[in-house]
Amino acid sequence: MSFDPSSLIYNDAGLVPCIAQEEESGEVLMMAWMNASAVAKTLASGNVTYWSRSRQSFWVKGESSGHVQKLVELRLDCDRDCLLAIVRQTGPACHTNRRSCFYTSIDDGEEVELMRPLV
């Protein structure tokens, strides 16, 4: 079956969440949002492209920072309302300069920092 980005289920803002996972390590790096055009751009360019809700514009990951995400594979879930991008991440994925955005763990009711910013 041929894939049509408009066949995904978008929220009221026209967005679908996309999880980025590092191909080699399997680490979950981040979650951000795409609209149908960002999905199409990601597939066409091979550069993971989100929709920035704060800036209301396309966000080619790493375009300014150099911390690009090269698309290895894009998957969709059973409900067609969530995407999983398998990527090769250059540098840190997080804007805090950490490898992953999920650097805080909840341990016995306390927030624990799992990783430090890369230097």
Nearer to its own copies, 78 or 119 (CB): 78
* Least distance (Å) between residue 105 CB and its own copies: 5
Which of 60, 72 has the CB closer to its own copies? 72
- Are 3 and 9 in contact by the 8 Å Cβ rule? The answer is no
Where does this chain bind its own copies (CB under 8 A)? 1-3, 17, 19, 21, 25-28, 30-31, 43, 73-79, 82, 84, 94-96, 98, 101-107, 109-111, 114
CA distances from 88 to 31, 69, 118 (A): 15, 6, 17
Q: Tell me if 7 sits within 8 A of 80, measured CB to CB.
A: yes
